Structure 1
Amino acid sequence: MDEPNAFASWRSYWHFRREVASRRRYLLSDESKAFLAELARTAASRARRLPEGRQFCRAQVAHKDREDPDAGPLPGPAPLDRMMPRPDAASDGRANPEGIPRLYMAGDRHTAIAEVRPWIGSLVTVAFLKTLRDLRVVDCRETEVKPHWFLDEEPSPAEREEAVWAEVAAAFREPVLRGDDRAGYAPTQVIAELFQQHGFDGIAYGSGFGDKAVNVVLFDTTAAEMFACEIHEVRGVKLDHETIDNPFPIRRNEDGELVMFRTVIDIIGPVGTPLPDVPNDDEEKPEG
Structure 2
Amino acid sequence: MSNDFCCPRCFGDTYLEKYRIPEQSSEEGLCPRCASRGVPLVRPEQLEEEFETLLSAYEVVDEGGESIISLLRRDWCLFPEDSLRHSDAQLLLLEVMQHDGTYLKKFRVRESDEVAPIADWGGIRDELRYKNRYFPQENVDFDALAGLLAHLANTTEAKTWCRARIQVSPEPFDLRQMGAPPREVSSHGRASPPGIPYLYLASNAETGVSEVRPHPSDYVSVAQFELKKDLKVIDFRNPRRYVSPFVLGGDIQILQLRADLPFLEEVGKELTRPVVPRSAPVDYVPSQYICEFAKMHKYDGVMYRSSAETGSNLAVFDVELAEAVKVERYSVEKVDVRIAPSNG
**TM-score with structure 1 length normalisation?**
0.69
Alpha-carbon offset, residue 235 of structure 1: 0.9
Cα 1:176–1:223 shift into 2, 3 Å: farther
Judge conservation of contact 1:103–1:218 (CA < 8 Å) in 2: yes
Alignment partners' CA distance in 2, 1:42 and 1:22:
26
Q: What corresponds to 1:216 in structure 2?
A: 314
Residue of structure 2 aligned with 1:229, choices 327, 332, 341: 327
Structure 2: which 5+ residue stretches go unaligned? 1-111, 242-254
Q: Does 1:40 align with 2:146?
A: yes
Q: Does 1:205 align with 2:304?
A: yes
Judge conservation of contact 1:63–1:79 (CA < 8 Å) in 2: no
Greater fraction of residues in helix = 2
Alpha-carbon offset, residue 13 of structure 1: 0.7
Q: Does 1:29 align with 2:124?
A: no
Alpha-carbon offset, residue 42 of structure 1: 0.8
Alpha-carbon offset, residue 199 of structure 1: 1.0
Cα 1:13–1:2 shift into 2, 3 Å: farther
1:211-235 Cα offsets, whole Å, 9 max, x none, are x310000000010001110101111
Alignment partners' CA distance in 2, 1:174 and 1:79:
31
Alignment partners' CA distance in 1, 2:159 and 2:275:
25
1:57-136 matches, cutoff 5 A: 57-62=162-167, 75-85=170-180, 86-136=182-232
User: Secondary structure of 1:180's match?
Assistant: helix
Judge conservation of contact 1:120–1:236 (CA < 8 Å) in 2: yes
Alpha-carbon offset, residue 139 of structure 1: 0.3
Alignment partners' CA distance in 1, 2:207 and 2:138:
39
Q: What corresponds to 1:252 in structure 2?
A: none
1:98-156 Cα offsets, whole Å, 9 max, x none, are 100000000000000000000111110000001001210000012369xxxxxxxxxx5
Letter of the 2:236 counterpart: C
Alpha-carbon offset, residue 240 of structure 1: 4.7
Letter of the 2:145 counterpart: L
Letter of the 1:58 counterpart: R
1:13-37 Cα offsets, whole Å, 9 max, x none, are 1111011111002222150x42x44
Cα 1:244–1:21 shift into 2, 3 Å: closer
Q: Does 1:18 align with 2:126?
A: yes
Q: Does 1:50 align with 2:156?
A: yes
Alignment partners' CA distance in 1, 2:171 and 2:280:
34
Alignment partners' CA distance in 2, 1:197 and 1:217:
15
Letter of the 1:119 counterpart: H
Letter of the 1:226 counterpart: A
Q: What corresponds to 2:235 in structure 1?
A: 139
1:140-184 Cα offsets, whole Å, 9 max, x none, are 012369xxxxxxxxxx53343121111000000112332224111
Alignment partners' CA distance in 2, 1:238 and 1:217:
25
Alignment partners' CA distance in 2, 1:239 and 1:88:
34
Q: Does 1:191 align with 2:290?
A: yes
Judge conservation of contact 1:175–1:207 (CA < 8 Å) in 2: no
Structure 1: which 5+ residue stretches go unaligned? 65-74, 146-155, 246-286
Alignment partners' CA distance in 2, 1:175 and 1:240:
12
Q: Percent of aligned positions with the same letter in both sequences?
A: 30
Letter of the 1:129 counterpart: F
Cα 1:2–1:216 shift into 2, 3 Å: farther
CA RMSD of aligned residues (A): 2.6
Alignment partners' CA distance in 1, 2:113 and 2:199:
38
Letter of the 2:152 counterpart: R
Larger Rg over CA atoms:
1
User: Secondary structure of 1:238's match?
Assistant: coil
Alignment partners' CA distance in 2, 1:99 and 1:244:
36
Judge conservation of contact 1:63–1:231 (CA < 8 Å) in 2: no
Judge conservation of contact 2:305–2:312 (CA < 8 Å) in 1: yes
Letter of the 2:163 counterpart: R
User: Secondary structure of 1:110's match?
Assistant: helix
Moved over 6 A (4+): none
Judge conservation of contact 1:7–1:38 (CA < 8 Å) in 2: no
Aligned length: 219
